[in-house]
Amino acid sequence: MKQPVKSKTDWKRVQREAAAEAPVPYDPAVDPYDPNDPKAVEAYWKKAKVRRVRGLQKTPRKVATAIRLSPEVVEFFKAEGPGWQTRVDDALQEYVKTHKVA
């Protein structure tokens, strides 16, 4: 399973700046709204559409397929939590290694 990416955010700085209640720097030529104006912030987010899009994989490592598995197999792997499909793939990889004809 993938390890979570460590944040590069300086959270201590963020906390210091939040505690100081200093105005957030704002450049009208670049920024879409004044973050120090609550009405501007509300208006911006009312019309905003938040969406997450995953980019294409640089080198696809797996092939998308549909297979039928017995309910017991699916329940077993799902019971161990998220990442169950990866664990099924790992089990099949192990099977291939042990049954490969040289």
Buried (b) or exposed (e) across 40-52, using 16+ Cβ within 10 A? eeeeeeeeeeeee
The two three-digit tokens of residue 75, written as one number: 């329940």
Question: Distance (Å, rounded) from C-alpha 86 to C-alpha 66?
Answer: 14
Question: Distance (Å, rounded) from C-alpha 28 to C-alpha 37?
Answer: 12
**CA atoms within 13 A of residue 3's CA, in its CB half-sphere:** 3
The percent of residues in the chain predicted with pLDDT above 90, rounded, is 50
Query: Residue 58 above 90 pLDDT?
Result: no
- Average pLDDT over the chain reads 88
Q: Once rounded to an integer, what is the mean pLDDT over residues 19-28?
A: 84
pTM: 0.44
Q: What is the pLDDT of residue 74?
A: 95
Question: Distance (Å, rounded) from C-alpha 8 to C-alpha 72?
Answer: 42
Phi, psi of 50 (to 5 degrees): -90, 125
The residue length of the chain stands at 102
Q: Once rounded to an integer, what is the mean pLDDT over residues 77-83?
A: 94
Q: What letter represents residue 81's amino acid?
A: G
